[in-house]
Amino acid sequence: MEDRGAEPRNTLSVRDNRTGKDYEIDIHEGDVVRAMDFRQIKVNEDDFGMMAYDPAFTNTASTRSRITEIDGANGILRYRGYPIEQLAEKSSFLEVCYLILKGELPSQDELDEFVHHVTFHTYAHENIIKLLNGFRYDAHAMGIVTSSVAALSTFYPEAKEVHDPENRWIQIIRLVAKMPTLAAFAYRHHRGLPYIYPENELSYTGNFLNMLFRIGVKEYRANPVLERALDVLFILHADHEQNCSATTMRVIGSSESDPYSALAGAMAALYGPLHGGANEAVLRMLNEIGHTDNIPDFMDSVRRGERRLMGFGHRVYKAYDPRANIIKKTAHEVFEVTGNNPLLDIALELEKIALQEDYFVERNLYPNVDFYSGLIYQAMGFPVEMFPVLFAIPRTVGWLAQWEEMLEDKEQKIARPRQVYVGEGQRDYVPVDQRG
């Protein structure tokens, strides 16, 4: 690029070589140009104007956000400015929920009130159980919970009043509170076990574990190490800025759908193996590899591009995912209680190879949040079908915060991308008996 030695200005000079016209486009904070500023670039007045083509939004910001900051080059993740490492070590999931939703850490009174509200909204309407009974015993837990969340919108028709902040807050509390109940019910349905109702005196994760695993005893108390490990995992999964499911939540919410319907859509986006379904896919992959002896063959197929190493790679992180570091430490704490997960050796060996070999190093393929989380979930007794659900419960908070931020943002409108039409031009309809 030629340096013309001009006075520095926060603008971009663009010459359209089709017309010889020059344009000056403003550069905003964060090296951002507004796509609409390019619309003025036209060959003639009838022209639509220039637009950006960006499949999969790899270089397009769709919003300004104050919730979560990721510095992918340096492996940094912060919620509302607080480093994920500090929150995982010192905070609790419900405190982090409050932080993400409200923007600040709560005072003790604020936290107590929030915990109280979440605790007292954990029950789901009994008709949800009738809905659950319609699913086959082997229905995937994610399908059951996604459908149950969508069904909740019919129980709370007032949730449609999305521009009323007080109304929104009630729905947010309901969703955060009921997700563990719906998830536990899905698990019990799958196992053919009676549903266990929420217990208000237990912690968020303690209550969840009770609803999942209490069998044949009046009182079940989760091991405190496992209860805390799940709380930490929930903190790590609470939000991750404009990922596939958060974008889905915003896009659906932008048409002013109620939050239950939008959240069911976000869950559907999370379900895929390239996103939140990756934790399940990792476990299936480790099981398939079966033994460290089989790793070389498996890695050959990855290098040939036939397979993906699930739990590796990330659109934003081009360094070690900071959540994976914390999860690895948590895994060791959990295994001290549950005994080692035999798949850990395979996982460690895969990571060792990937961190050294050119194929992975050149493509910045580091372990992501999903690589070790499944090993912990399995050691805690969860079947693989529950893994994406365990991602969806805490991510509910992020989705809701992103949804609220979108609704309050005066610049946002109904989401509606453009396309570059490359299909047929106009042609005349031919009756079926005249088609060749």
Site residues (CB under 6 A) for ligand CMC?
A: 240, 243, 274-276, 278, 302, 308-315, 363, 365, 368-370
Q: Helix H segments across 254-386?
A: 259-271, 278-289, 295-303, 322-338, 344-356, 358-362, 369-379
* Amino acid found at 143: G
Q: Nearest approach, Cβ of 71 to ligand CMC (angstroms)?
A: 16
Q: Please, which residue, 7 or 362, has the CB nearer to ligand CMC?
A: 362
Q: Is 190 part of the annotated catalytic residue set?
A: no
Closer of 315 and 418 to ligand CMC (Cβ): 315
Shortest separation between residue 124's beta carbon and ligand CMC, angstroms: 27
Report the C-alpha gap between 223 and 231 in whole angstroms: 12
Cβ distance to ligand CMC smaller for residue 222 or 326: 326
What are the CA-CA distances from residue 382 to residues 190, 379, 389 (Å)?
A: 12, 7, 11
Spatial distance between the Cα atoms of 31 and 36, rounded to a whole number of angstroms: 15
Q: Which of 140, 189, 237, 275 is catalytic?
A: 275
CB of 78 to ligand CMC, least distance (A): 16
- CB nearer to ligand CMC: give 310 or 343: 310
CB of 191 to ligand CMC, least distance (A): 27
The CB-of-101 to ligand CMC minimum distance in angstroms stands at 20
Q: Which of 239, 314, 321, 345 is catalytic?
A: 314
Task: Give the span between the Cα atoms of 271 and 251, in whole angstroms.
Answer: 17
At its nearest, how many Å lie between ligand CMC and the CB of residue 144?
A: 21
What is the 8-class DSSP label of residue 70?
E
| Residue 178: both structure tokens together | 């009921």
Q: Is 86 helix (H, G, I), strand (E, B) or coil?
A: helix
Please name which of 251, 310, 243 lies closest in space to residue 281, comparing C-alpha atoms.
310
Phi, psi (rounded to 5 degrees) for 268: -60, -40
Q: Is 14 helix (H, G, I), strand (E, B) or coil?
A: strand
C-alpha distance from residue 420 to each of 47, 51, 319, 414 (Å)? 14, 9, 34, 20
The pairs formed by 17-24 with CB atoms below 8 angstroms and a separation of 24 or more are 18/43, 19/43
370 catalytic residue (yes or no): yes
Signed CA dihedral, 341, 342, 343, 345: sign only: positive
Least distance from ligand CMC to the Cβ atom of residue 319, Å: 14
Q: Are strands 76-79 and 82-83 parallel, antiparallel or unpaired?
A: antiparallel
Pairwise CA distance, residues 224 & 230, whole Å = 10
Nearer to ligand CMC, 253 or 398 (CB): 398
The residue with its CB nearest to ligand CMC is 313
314 as an active site residue: the answer is: yes
How many CB atoms lie under 10 A from the CB of residue 294?
A: 12
Separation of alpha carbons 421 and 89, rounded Å? 51
Contact 68, 241 (CB under 8 A): yes
If the CB atoms of residues 228 and 275 are measured against ligand CMC, the closer one turns out to be 275
The residue (of 177 and 286) whose beta carbon lies closer to ligand CMC is 286
Among candidate residues 370, 409, 428, 433, the one labeled active-site is: 370
Task: State in angstroms the smallest separation of the CB of 316 from ligand CMC.
Answer: 8
Q: Which is nearer to ligand CMC, 118 or 278 (CB)?
A: 278
First to last CA, the chain: 55
The Cα diameter of the chain in Å comes to 81
Q: Could you list the active site residues? A: 275, 314, 370
